[in-house]
Structure formats: C-alpha cells, structure tokens
Amino acid sequence: MILEVKNISKYFPIERGIFKRRVGFVKVLDGVTFSVEKFKTLGIIGESGSGKTTLAKIILGLIPATSGEIIFNSNEIVNFRKDVQIIFQNPYNSLNPKMRIIDIISEPLIVHKLIKKIDLKNRIIGLLRMVGLDTGALNRLPIEFSGGQRQRICIARALASEPKFLVLDEPISSLDLTVQAQMLDLFIELKNKLKLTYIFNSHNLAVIRRIADSVIVMQNGRIVEMAAKDDIFKNPVNPYTRLLLDAARK
C-alpha cells in the first residue's frame, strides 16, 4: 500500500457570541479508514457536504485531523512535498493571476532543485506539451486561458515535481462536458504513462466509473460502502449507494 488512512475524524467547533463561546461541534469526518494501492485509482463518491474535500485536505496535511492517522509508505513517498500533489476543483483560484505560465510551472522545479537553470525552459515546454499545450503559453498570464486550459496548466505544475501520488479533488466539475471528457482522458493517459497513484474525488458517478479501480461511497462524513468498482456499480449493498446509482440513471 502507498497510503493508509486510519480512523480519521474531523470536528469543527461551533462558536457563538462576541466572545466566541464554544457550544458544540460539527462532525465532518467520522472514523474514516481505507488504504490505496500503488499505481491504482481510488474513487471517492459523495454529495456536497459528505466530507470528500476535508478528507483530501487532511491527507495533504493542509488541515489537521481531530483524531486518526495518515501513513504514507516511506519506501514510496520519500519527500512528501515533492512526491504528493493536489489538483483542486477551481483552476481560476489555483493560479497566481500576476505570474506568467513559465514562472508558475518553474516554481516547483526550482524549489525542489530538480533541474539545472540551463535546462529549465525545455523542461517546462515538455510539461506543457504533456498536458496538451504549446510553447505559445509560456509568457502569457492565466487570464488569457480558458477554464480547461488553466486546469491543464495546474496539472503541468503538479507534475513538475515528479510526484508519485495525486489527490484530484473534483478536478473537472467546473468545466463543460466536452472539456470534462478530454480532461478525463488526459488524467488516465498521464497515470499510465507516469506510473501515478490517484485519489479522485467526485460527485459524478460516470466519471468515477470511467477512472477508478476501487470506490468509496461517503455519506455525512462516513464510509457507507467500499469495494472494487464493478462491485459498486453492478451489485451495490448499501441503500445510499443504490439511491445514488438510481438518481444517476434518471
């Protein structure tokens, strides 16, 4: 296993009054446990508010868990900041609007000292081509690109550090349907070409069915069903899973 998530819970305090008196907690995650195999894609299905994004942020160390443990295989994830990356839902908020694309993508290469300065531009060009963009993008600003193109830039930046594990948090949901299909094909191509491992969060069952090897279904911060993809879609056990599948067919 490349990742083990053990009994993760997350509570956010409820505060009232001018002195912010704590009156209770909102339980966002409750005892979430699973593991991810190397080179596989774990799809996480759940409606808005099910805890998918909070879980992604805890795995990435962006927020702390209230309890539980996140364990990465130290033989696979040697340098966490380099080896584990995230691609967020909204590419418009993920890129510095004042930075040129060449500078955005070069940041991780420079920070992690992955390449000599003389080779930097060629490496960036290679990353852009890998995600379907040409050299004309180098000196432009994010505002000059469409949503799908911006997400491709976000992918190129994430890949610059040569990661082994990607957390994809609703990465195509803000894009139109045609672009969604193109991006999904790109994620599958990159996973196979670069030998990546994914966690892919989505509320879209068709997307999860296309990309995942195994699936977790979340409801109200809990895992209600976890199985291989074919078992989830052909023989769901939990009533909530069946409800999601029935709704998707309508």
pLDDT of residue 13: 81
Q: What is the pTM of this model?
A: 0.91
Closest CA to 162 of 217, 106, 108: 108
Distance of alpha carbon 161 from alpha carbon 108, whole angstroms? 6
Helices (H) then strands (E): counts for the chain: 10, 9
Torsion of CA 109, 194, 180, 125, to 10 degrees: 40
Q: Which two tokens stand for residue 78?
A: 């040697």
Most confident range (mean pLDDT) of 14-18, 45-49, 92-96, 98-102 is 98-102
Distance of alpha carbon 202 from alpha carbon 238, whole angstroms? 18
Distance of alpha carbon 187 from alpha carbon 196, whole angstroms? 10
Give the Å distances, CA to CA, from 80 to 39, 53, 59, 159, 234.
17, 19, 11, 14, 37
pLDDT tens for residues 60-107? 999 999 999 999 999 999 999 999 999 988 888 889 999 999 999 999
Q: Which residues of 166-200 are buried (b: 16+ CB within 10 A; e: fewer)?
A: bbbbbbbebbeeebbeebbebbeebbeeeebbbbb
Topology of domain 1-77+164-171+194-250 in CATH is Rossmann fold (3.40.50)
Distance of alpha carbon 189 from alpha carbon 173, whole angstroms? 19
**Residue 12: other Cβ atoms inside 10 A:** 13
Q: Which two tokens stand for residue 90?
A: 């909204």
pLDDT tens for residues 114-129? 888 889 999 999 999 9
pLDDT tens for residues 190-218? 999 999 999 999 989 999 999 999 999 99
Distance of alpha carbon 83 from alpha carbon 34, whole angstroms? 20
pLDDT of residue 250: 61
The amino acid occupying position 180 is Q
Give the Å distances, CA to CA, from 168 to 59, 72, 202.
12, 17, 9
The bridge status of strand 165-169 relative to strand 21-36 is unpaired
The alpha carbons of the chain give a radius of gyration, in whole angstroms, of 19
* Residue 113 banded pLDDT, cuts 50, 70, 90: confident
- Whether the per-residue pLDDT at 24 is higher than 80: the answer is no
What is the CA angle 191-48-223, rounded to 5?
Answer: 70
Is residue 250 exposed (0-12), middle (13-18) or buried (19+ Cβ within 10 Å)?
Answer: exposed
Distance of alpha carbon 61 from alpha carbon 40, whole angstroms? 21
Domain definitions of the chain by residue range: 1-77+164-171+194-250
Region 174-192 average pLDDT:
92
- As a whole number, the mean pLDDT across the chain is 92
